[in-house]
Structure 1
Amino acid sequence: MKRGSMIVRAIWAACLLIGGINHARILLQHGLLWDYNGVGWASAVYWSSLTILDPLVAALLFIRPKLGIPGTVLLIVTNVIHNLAVTARYVPEGEFLIHTATSPFLLGQIGFMLFVAATAPTAWKGAVPGAGQSVPTR
C-alpha cells in the first residue's frame, strides 16, 4: 500500500508542478499585476497564487502527507469550480458546454480532479499511519 501511495502522490505532485510552472510562465510573460484579460482582481489573485500554492502542496504530499493529500483535493476542486465559473461568466451565452468540451485545459483539470478523487483513498491509506485499518469492536 505504501508503494501505491507513493506512486499516486508522485503523479499528483508532477501534475501540480506542471500547473505551477504554467502559472509562473504566465506571470513572467505578463507581470505580477496582470488582470488575466479583465477577469477581475479576485480571479487574478487566485490564479497568480497558484504559482506558489501548486508547488507548495506538491512538496507537502511528501513532507506532510496529512496536509498535502487534503490540500491537493481542495486545490484541484476549487480550481475546477473557479475555472468553470469564469468560463460560464465569459463565454457567449449557449456556448458553455461547447467551450468546456473543447478546452484542453479545462478537460485536463477535470480529468485530474477525477483522478485525484479516485486515487485519494490509496494515497491516504499508504501515507498516513493507521489509515484504512479496521477499528476493533467489542
Structure 2
Amino acid sequence: MMSVSRRSLWLRMIYALCLLGATYNHLLIVAEYDWGWDYGGLPVFVTTFWTALTLIDPLAIVLLFVRPRGGVILTLAIIAVDVAINSWVAWRYGIDLATFLAQVCFLIFVVCTWRMAAQYRASPR
C-alpha cells in the first residue's frame, strides 16, 4: 500500500503536468497575440481570466510542491472557475468540444482526489 505522502505527491505531480500543459497553451497565445488579446471579441472578464492563467497556473505548480495544501486548493479553484467560465462561453459563443471535455475531466479528477492530494505530511528530519 502506498503511503499518504507518496499518494499525495503522485496526485500533485498529475495536477502539475496538467497545469503545465495549460500554461504552455496560454504562453503560445500570449506569444502570438500579446497580453491584451480579446480572443476574437470575447468579454473582458473572460479574456482577463484566460490571460491571467498564464501566470496563475505556474504559481499553482510551484505551490503544489512548496505549499502542497495551498497548491491543491488553488488548482481546484482554477479548474472550477475555468470550467464555469468556459461553460458560459460554450453556451453563448460555442467552444472547442474536445478541449472543454478535457477540462471537465480534469475538474472531475481534482474534485474526486483533492482531499487525498492535500494530505501532505512532511518527512521527519
User: TM (normalized to structure 1)?
Assistant: 0.82
Q: Is the 8 A contact 2:30 2:51 kept in 1?
A: yes
Partner of 2:99: 105
* Residue correspondences, number: 119
Alignment RMSD (CA, Å): 1.4
Partner of 1:88: 91
Residue identity opposite 1:35 in structure 2? D
Q: Percent of counterpart pairs with the same letter?
A: 34
Q: Is the 8 A contact 2:23 2:57 kept in 1?
A: yes
Partner of 1:18: 21
1:66 CA drift (Å): 2.3
CA distance in 2, matches of 1:106, 1:9: 22
SS of corresponding position for 1:35: coil
Q: Is the 8 A contact 2:60 2:71 kept in 1?
A: yes
After TM superposition, the runs of 4+ consecutive aligned structure 1 residues lying more than 6 A away are: none
User: TM (normalized to structure 2)?
Assistant: 0.90
Q: Is the 8 A contact 1:13 1:58 kept in 2?
A: yes
Q: Is the 8 A contact 2:5 2:121 kept in 1?
A: no
1:30 CA drift (Å): 1.3
Q: Which has the larger radius of gyration?
A: 1
CA distance in 1, matches of 2:102, 2:10: 19
